[in-house]
Structure 1
Amino acid sequence: MNKPLRAIRLVALLCAAALVSAGCWDRREIEERTSVVAVAIDKSAEHPGMILLTVQIPIPIRIAGSGLGSGGGGGGGKSVKTMSATGWTVVDAFQNLQKRLNQELFYGHTRIIAIGEDVAKSGVSQILDPFRRDPQIRRLLWPIVVQGEGRQLLEATPTLEQIPTVFIMTLIENGARKGSIPDVNLGDFYIDLSTGSREPYLNYVQVNKDDIKWSGVALFLDDRMIGKLDERDTWRVMRVREKKDGGNIVFPFKGNSDHLATINTELVSSGKSITFRDGKPVVRIMVRLESNLLEKTFDADLMNPETISQLERDAVRYLEENTANLVRKLQREYKTDTLGIGSYIKAHHPAEWKRMDWKKQFPETDIRINYEVRLRNTGMELR
């Protein structure tokens, strides 16, 4: 074999050996990491000006069915551990927490960021900034505002799930699937903050010991929480902004508060019409719903077409009156475009949008929302 050919083969062999031996130079085995499934951020009561960071860590050997404990799991005690640390910034708090652990914290499995109400009211851009920059963090995780302190959500132990975060995840996922709870993830929140044409909101929960309850949404103006909407007002926003079904509607029959009807809703269509009068937008929104009668507390002949028409008119009256109250609340009290009307103007009337200061004009804008309800099924009647 001549020397040039031998040299070429030697170089090729060395290159192949280098590739094989290099592998993933920065890899970390999963057993060498401590997974964090939820993070809570609060203001520190003991150290003013500092952040209190809390994480929730699953303990695999204590999770039933893991196969790591005797009899397939359940080594006794809680299946998760919560740990807290303080810091001047979120990254500083994470670093202080890492000093107390023998393994590297891993955030690729984090699904919940619980934000204390006081932190949300002070502004969330800075506390969410490191989550935006960290490639481990998924944009599909859910930021949630918690009444009181965010760590209450991580410390609750609902009996229906071994891992509390799984309970919260399924609560939101099932509600989002039914169209009754907004599916607002971290990526959605970033987008709403950056568009300038609609204001963001986040799911809002209340925690009472081990009881976790979804209680509507927290409203934001820019990155600061300025108020909240209850469940029913949230459903009205969802029908207009997200074109979702929302929850059931309970309304009086013929204006009698003792005669109540309950219907579910299925969104058929939702359309917006924007015109301009003296340079000011005039907004008209029509929401069409189909429904089924779920319950009534009065006697009525449901075989009579006039009774069905009366139920439909009463449902429309209830929805329009309460939605008008919601619009007044958003315009006069909060001055925040939670309905996302600005995004529609920006997309369909770009020339007018460029001349507008929407934050100033929204509270004065003429907005009217109308409904059309069709009752398609009344269920079984006893005769």
Structure 2
Amino acid sequence: MKHRKLYSVISVFILLAAFLSGCGDSKDINDQLIATTIIFDYKDGEIWYYLEIANIETGNNKESGTSANKYIVRKGNGKTLTEVRDDLDAHLDKPLYLSGIRTLIFTESFARKHLVEYLYRYRADEGYRKKGLTVITKEDPEELYKSAHEQNTSTGLLAEGIVKTLDESGKSFLRTTIRLIENLSAEYTGILIPCIGFHDKELAVIGYSVISGSDVVGLLPAPESRGTMFLKADKAKFYYSVPYNEVNYAIEVRVKKKRIKPTYEEGKISFSIKMDCIAELGYGDKKTPYNLNKAALDEISETLAATLEQEISDAVKRAQTEFACDYLQFDDIFRVKFPVEFERMDWGKEFPQVGASVDVKVKLSTKWGMDYSAGEAK
């Protein structure tokens, strides 16, 4: 029932989008093929496309009592992107409607060779929905479709929902495809693109593909990305377990204010990273009361602040050493403050050498009504 409602919402959205974007189009939406997802792969020296199309004629078969597939996948191949599009057009029985595509999905092998070319093609094609997302995957395209279709949902919509949910929960960031194209068009390009894959047989963001220039240079695993997300997410929020007096306390941490200030003195670049965080102590793993007074809470705050500072410092160093890529967008911050100096630099060579200091302040509170101390409940 839940999936049927989801599909109804998807159908309404796609049809509404078609109406709004095609008011002047003489072709009825029913006379077009509504593309919902496209996955590109590169294998055996050729580009392969896997196009997901909404089956708008789906419904219960009154004779058999079964339901038709809600999505159809068509695939083809070619040596170049132009050949791929020609192959696709040659096998369509109706015009293709592209504004229903929520997410572009590239395999890592495709991204290594054709990421920039296809994104520029995307920008030039007025048929695409310009606020769509782009993700990368290491998985087989057909397995991605199989997983989503078993849940009666679109692969692109599922991928978009996963990325947006992480962004809204403060555990990731959201960048539209157009924003990626803007980064690729800049003189220096360092980007993180969400990488989706299977985790415990469920589709998830397993990490972030690192794009330096136009190349995929590595993967930042999701479990190791917390410090990076504190720098990139708009409203980062994570949970920590902090030990104190043989009790492990679960604490929610949110960034209240973030300031990154560049300096340039005697030819040396440095960044001062300051964060004010709000933390809330939820519970401990032992029986109450916990006998936490102000001194105890201050000590827990200091421990938590030190942990955050270390994670953020490590995130900067990893970008500099392991990937040699400024996907933290420090270049944008420096360019705003020192535009003339930046134009004279090769940021790709400068970034691994920049200094960074991190200062985190944590204001810790406790949930109302919990018995944290012998005589005081905050």
2:335 to 346, 368, 373: 346
- In the TM superposition, residue 234 of structure 1 has moved relative to its aligned partner by 3.4
| Structural mapping, 1:38-49, within 5 Å | 38-44=37-43, 48-49=44-45
Aligned match for 1:55, one of 51, 54, 64: 51
Deviation at 1:69, TM superposition (A): 4.4
**Does the CA contact (< 8 Å) of 2:36 and 2:98 recur in 1?**
yes
Aligned to 1:182: 173
Partner of 2:99: 108
Runs of 4+ residues over 6 Å off in structure 1: none
Report the equivalent of 1:367: 356
User: What letter matches 1:55 in structure 2?
Assistant: L
Query: Is the 1:152–1:207 contact (alpha carbons within 8 Å) kept by the matching residues of 2?
Result: no
Counterpart of 1:250 in structure 2 is 240
**Against the structure 1 CA distance between its residues 312 and 155, is the aligned structure 2 distance closer, same or farther, given a 3 Å change threshold?**
same
Change (3 A) 1:219 1:379: farther
Match of 1:273 among 254, 257, 261: 261
- Give 2:183's aligned residue: 192
Amino acid at match of 1:294: G
Given the superposition, is the C-alpha separation of residues 275 and 163 from structure 1 closer, same or farther in structure 2, using an over 3 Å criterion? Answer: closer
Indicate the residue corresponding to 2:282 in structure 1.
294
The amino acid that maps onto 2:256 is V
Q: For 1:1-383, what aligned pairs fall within 5 Å after superposition?
A: 27-44=26-43, 48-62=44-58, 69=60, 76-157=67-148, 161-197=152-188, 199-207=190-198, 211-246=202-237, 248-254=238-244, 259-298=247-286, 301=290, 303-382=292-371
1-structure distance, mates of 2:37, 2:73: 9
SS at match of 1:193: helix
Q: CA deviation at 1:30?
A: 0.9
Structure 2 distance, partners of 1:330, 1:93, is: 36
Letter in 2 for 1:342: D
Residues 341-362 of structure 1 show CA distances to partners (whole Å, capped at 9, x for unaligned) of: 1101101111221232211011
Q: Percent identity?
A: 16
Say which is worse superposed, 122-131 or 304-313, in terms of deviation.
Answer: 122-131
Contact 1:283 1:368 in 2 (8 A): yes
Q: Distance in 1 between matches of 2:154 and 2:266?
A: 57
What residue identity is the alignment partner of 1:230?
A: P
Between structure 1 and structure 2, the one with the greater Rg is: 1
Per-residue deviation, 1:332 = 0.9
Q: Is the contact made by 1:38 and 1:154 (CA closer than 8 Å) also made in structure 2?
A: no
Structural RMSD (CA): 2.6
The one-letter amino acid paired with 1:263 is I
- Does the 8 Å CA contact 1:283/1:365 hold for their aligned counterparts? yes
**SS state at 1:52 partner:** strand
Per the TM alignment, residue 177 of structure 1 is displaced from its structure 2 partner at its CA by: 2.1
Please give the alpha-carbon distance, in whole angstroms, between the structure 1 residues aligned to 2:291 and 2:57.
58
**1:37-61 per-position Cα deviation (integer Å, ceiling 9, x unaligned):** 10000013xxx32101001111123
Distance 2:130 2:253 in 1: 30
CA contact (8 A) 1:243 1:270 kept: no
Could you state the TM-score of these two structures normalised by the residue count of structure 2?
0.83
Partners of 1:377 and 1:158 in 2: CA distance: 44
- 1:339 partner letter: L
Task: Give TM-score scaled by structure 1 length.
Answer: 0.82
> What runs of 5+ residues in structure 2 fail to find an aligned partner?
1-22
Extract unaligned runs of 5+ from structure 1: 1-23, 63-67
Question: Which deviations, in whole Å up to 9, do the C-alpha atoms of 1:302-343 show, x marking residues without a partner?
Answer: 541122112211111211222222222111110001111110
CA contact (8 A) 1:145 1:205 kept: yes
Aligned length: 347
Q: Are the structure 2 counterparts of residues 243 and 177 from structure 1 closer, same or farther at C-alpha, using a change threshold of 3 Å?
A: closer
